[in-house]
Amino acid sequence: SHKEQIWISKNLKHRPQKQRPQKVLTVVRQPEPDAARSQGAVFYVLSMEQRPMATQMIAIASAWKEACTSENLSTVVISKGNYMVGSVTFKGPCKSPITLHIEGKLKAPVELERLSSQDGWIVFQDIDGLQVSGGGTFDGQGSAAWAKNDCRKTGKCSSLPINLRFSSVTNSKMQDVTSLNSKLFHINILNCKNLSLQHISINAPANSLNTAGIHIGRSNGVHITDADIKTGDDCVSLGDGSQQISIEKVTCGPGHGISVDTLGRYHDEQPVNGVTVRNCTLKNTMNGVRVKTWPDSPSGVASEMTFEDIIMDNVSNPILIDQKYCPYGECKAKILK
């Protein structure tokens, strides 16, 4: 292998070598593009394991900015290798559909103080026509953070960052990626429409507190297929406003099962309807399929829910409808405004 300067360009089909470009991306080995990457503008981020975290984040942010402002279909390729990155927001709207092709492993800092946001580590926001793929891994490195999670004492579990947050993302798809050892939830989907997750792997040990696999809220048309989820909380959970949700061919375990999650805790919650859970396997889980509502909750609706063709193996509570769900001894707590 050899080393050369790789520069951001609006056309990377042919690498500039002699002329002086405007912006440097990094200094690493350049892989040859394959046929799939040859269409449209392609922006590479190449492995730079020895560089400081800030440098790696600047490279990724610069490539995203160039692709997002391109008038043509664009692809950002994060090549094979390890990348240490702090909080990153891939923000739109973009001028055309965009693909984030991740081949490498993105690793979050172990230390919470090195993350600028406690809300989400990797955030996708206000994007239409996003594709995330490539076989890469988002490693939250959360084992040290789990010991600091004091949910059982305080009932407050929002102080740790979520691995992947999708906020107001539409007409998009994520496939063939792994979320590993998140500090809190692995994937959170909020205010999204027409979003598909396919061939997703989620992995954390059974003792990883509050590491829900996929949580959905106030979203319409979310489809999860062929996912393998091992974690310390619900494999999939649906909050208020989850509508037209399909969960198929999901393998869950260890974990707490598949849940319609803790409805009625807040005023003005949106109804849950059109939920289908089909052809799933749950093994060595605390629960199978579950619907849970907060005690003393206002009136609300969860309707048109279908659970069928589900295999359960060594599941403590295969089917559970709990209308007085009270975690952490908060049964006397009133609903929150």
d(CA 64, CA 113): 25
Domain shared by 62 and 198, yes or no = yes
Assess whether 129 and 170 both reside in one domain.
yes
CB 268 within 8 A of CB 246: no
- Active site members: 233, 256
Residue 43 located in a structural domain: yes
pLDDT at 177: 98
Residue 291 structural domain: 233-328
Say if residue 194 is in the same domain as residue 287. Answer: no
3-state secondary structure of 50: coil
Torsion of CA 202, 203, 206, 211, to 10 degrees: -50
- Number of domains composing the chain: 2
- Domain assignment present for residue 138? The answer is yes
**Whether residues 199 and 242 fall in one domain:** no
Is 27 in contact with 49 (CB distance < 8 Å)? no
Residue 318: what pLDDT? 97
Examine the domain organization and report whether 246 and 163 are in the same domain: no
| CA dist list (Å): 158 to 117, 179, 211 | 11, 19, 11
Same domain, 45 and 161: yes
Does a structural domain hold residue 283? yes
**Domain containing 88 — which CATH number?**
2.160.20.10
What is the rounded CA–CA span in Å between residue 68 and residue 65? 5
Do 75 and 195 fall within a single domain?
A: yes
Tell me if 17 is assigned to some domain.
Answer: no
- Per the domain annotation, does 298 fall within a domain? yes
Grouping H, G, I as helix, E, B as strand and the rest as coil, residue 58 is helix
Residues 158 and 53 in one domain: yes
In a domain, 79, yes or no: yes
Handedness of CA 326, 329, 335, 336 (dihedral sign): negative
Burial of residue 278 (number of CB atoms within 10 Å: 0-12, 13-18, 19+): middle
- Whether 9 maps to a domain, the answer reads no
Q: Are 20 and 43 in contact (CB under 8 A)?
A: no
> Are residues 267 and 195 both part of a single domain?
no
Q: What DSSP element (H or E) covers 199?
A: none
Residue 287 within any structural domain of the chain: yes
**Vertex 278, ends 272 and 279: CA angle to 5°?**
160
Report the pLDDT value the prediction gives residue 335, as an integer from 0 to 100. Answer: 57
Q: Are 180 and 200 in contact (CB under 8 A)?
A: no
Q: Which of 179, 197, 167, 102 is nearest to 140 (CA)?
A: 179
Do residues 66 and 145 share a domain?
yes
DSSP state of 324: S
How do the pLDDT tens digits run along the chain, 337 residues long?
Answer: 333 333 343 444 433 343 333 333 442 323 334 544 446 789 999 877 778 888 889 999 999 999 999 999 999 999 999 999 999 999 999 999 999 999 999 999 998 888 866 679 999 999 999 999 999 999 999 998 888 776 666 656 557 899 999 999 999 999 999 999 999 999 999 999 999 999 999 999 999 988 999 999 999 999 999 999 999 999 999 999 999 999 999 999 999 999 998 787 777 889 999 999 999 999 999 999 999 888 877 777 889 999 999 999 999 999 999 887 877 666 655 556 5
Cis omega (within 30 of 0) on the bond before 16? Answer: no
Q: Assess whether 120 and 197 both reside in one domain.
A: yes
* 228 CA to centre of own chain: 14
Does the predicted TM-score (pTM) go above 0.85?
yes
pLDDT for res 69? 94
pLDDT at position 134 is: 97
Is 59 in the same domain as 155?
A: yes
130 SS3 class: strand
pLDDT for the residue numbered 67: 94
